[in-house]
Amino acid sequence: MPQTLMADKAAFDVDKIREDFPILSQTVRGKPLVYLDNAATTQKPRRVIERVRRFDTEEYGTVRRGAYRLCEHATQLFEDSRQKVADFLGAGNKKEIVFTSGTTQAINLVAYSFGRRFVYAGDEIIISNIEHHANTVPWQVLCEERGARLKVIPVNDAGELILEEYEKLLSDRTRLVAVNHVSNALGTVNPVREITEKAHAAGARVLIDGAQSTPHMKVDVREIGCDFYTFSGHKMYAPSGVGGVFGKMELWQEMPPYVTGGDMIMKVTLEKTTYAPPPARFEAGTPAITQVIGLGEAIDYLNGIGMDRISQYEKSLLEYGSRVLGAIDGLRIIGTAHDKAALISFALDVAHPHDVVTLLDQDGIAVRGGHHCAQPTMVRFGVPATSRASMAFYNKPEELDALAESLQKVIKLFS
């Protein structure tokens, strides 16, 4: 093992971390599971699994609408989780956090509610060429409905946004800029603070899709300055079915509801309904109570390790993985941004990503093959699909060695 990783090992005991994740000790087809699909979804630490079980076993009740003990206690835990999310994202006020089912619903909420209030015919929305479909399609739909135009920031061959081109796209017609913090297909970390400053200078608002950043780095929405910031629980070691969006209170207050029904109203008569203030206005219906409690526990777990230490360790994994995969003849890494998260998208000359994924699975290695819900990104790089190894802080350098060894076998089989 290289010297730098030995040093990191002393600072970050990955073997001990792995003991926190029950699923990681299992075998697949008689081989140890090597889980490298963390950009799709992450595994859960025992703490989260047990917290969720304890809540459902001993503490479960509905939130916000009962006066009995179970309900009051569940409401308290639910709102504690909202505070944990606010602190985790650097938001000033927990009422600026709206829970949704995940990032997809979060972006749809903003597209619908912000769009109905602030976007009109002739206005413009800016996205980038390396967005997930969840940060592309809602804006296409909004633009079509409102007669607005969608503009796209191009990327260079490394997969980095070309900021000079971005500046040319901004104008007094720009209403919103929606880009990811980290690209799920390439791993590019975008300069979101700079992007936000330029958008604000042009009078536009900014949404940052944080689905791929929140699990891997310290995020501070006030430092970034963005108006909205979205996230998904299941990508940050919490249960699936919960996520949310930070939004500036001044905007939430101006925005109409997205989904309507119970829990989001002030008063309903048969003639007219007045809406509750944020965040309740945007949380109609019974929320994912158990999952929100699990999300709070996952945040406590991540804070216990420290997001800066997680980033630092994952950076060393990325460097190691880029080196061992980069040394393979006939393997091309797609996405070579200077600032990159621990994710390696690649193409083999001799084998299609779907064959690669099926064969790696024979060795117990889980990676994703496909277009990663980012077809415009694939078109930009001239490939129908890629294979993608995405890391988490519970991965080890040895697992990347196993990946490289298995890829050599794929190449041999197809040559």
Annotated catalytic residues are: 373
DSSP 8-state code for residue 185? T
Q: Which two tokens stand for residue 220?
A: 């501070």
Q: Pick the closer one to another protein by CB: 176 or 351.
A: 351
Q: Which two tokens stand for residue 76?
A: 């308290």
- Min dist CB 401 to another protein, Å, is 14
- Min dist CB 362 to another protein, Å, is 5
- Min dist CB 142 to another protein, Å, is 24
- Return d(Cα 244, Cα 85) in angstroms, integer: 9
Q: Binding of another protein at residue 124 (CB under 8 A)?
A: no
Of 3-11, 239-247, 333-341, 378-386, the window that binds another protein (rule: CB under 8 A) is: 378-386
Q: Binding of another protein at residue 398 (CB under 8 A)?
A: no
- Min dist CB 137 to another protein, Å, is 14
Interface with another protein (CB under 8 A), residue total 18
Beta bridge partners of 343: 390
Q: Pick the closer one to another protein by CB: 57 or 382.
A: 382
| Paired sense of beta strands 174-180 and 149-153, if any | unpaired
Q: Binding of another protein at residue 403 (CB under 8 A)?
A: no
Q: What is the residue type of 190?
A: N
CB 407 within 8 A of CB 159: no
CB 243 within 8 A of CB 100: yes
Of 7-15, 143-151, 302-310, 346-354, the window that binds another protein (rule: CB under 8 A) is: 346-354
Of 10-18, 85-93, 295-303, 405-413, the window that binds another protein (rule: CB under 8 A) is: 405-413
**The binder of another protein chosen from 385, 389, 391, 400 (CB under 8 A):** 385
Q: Pick the closer one to another protein by CB: 29 or 272.
A: 29
The three-point CA angle 182-185-189 to 5° equals: 20
Q: Binding of another protein at residue 222 (CB under 8 A)?
A: no
- Return d(Cα 133, Cα 128) in angstroms, integer: 11
Residues 305-334 that bind another protein (CB under 8 A): none
- Min dist CB 408 to another protein, Å, is 9
- Min dist CB 136 to another protein, Å, is 16
Q: Binding of another protein at residue 414 (CB under 8 A)?
A: yes
- Return d(Cα 408, Cα 232) in angstroms, integer: 34
Q: What is the residue type of 94?
A: K
DSSP letter string, 34-85: EE-BTTT-----HHHHHHHHHIIIII---SSS--SHHHHHHHHHHHHHHHHH
Q: Binding of another protein at residue 133 (CB under 8 A)?
A: no
Q: Pick the closer one to another protein by CB: 48 or 410.
A: 410
CB 393 within 8 A of CB 305: yes
Q: Binding of another protein at residue 69 (CB under 8 A)?
A: no
Residues 30-59 that bind another protein (CB under 8 A): none
Q: Which of 183, 215, 169 is nearest to 339 (CA)?
A: 183
First to last CA, the chain: 30
Q: Pick the closer one to another protein by CB: 319 or 355.
A: 355
Q: Pick the closer one to another protein by CB: 251 or 410.
A: 410
From the CA atom positions of the chain, what is the Rg in Å?
22
Q: Residue 78 to residues 103, 242, 282, 302: CA-CA distances in angstroms? A: 19, 12, 16, 18
Q: Binding of another protein at residue 352 (CB under 8 A)?
A: yes
Q: Which two tokens stand for residue 203?
A: 């009078």
- Return d(Cα 223, Cα 205) in angstroms, integer: 15
- Min dist CB 357 to another protein, Å, is 9
Residues 353-372 that bind another protein (CB under 8 A): 353-355, 358-359, 362-363, 370-371
Q: Binding of another protein at residue 134 (CB under 8 A)?
A: no
Using omega within 30 degrees of 0 as the cis cutoff, is the peptide bond preceding 279 cis? yes
- Min dist CB 334 to another protein, Å, is 15
Site residues for another protein per CB under 8 A: 351-355, 358-359, 362-363, 370-371, 378, 384-385, 409, 412-414
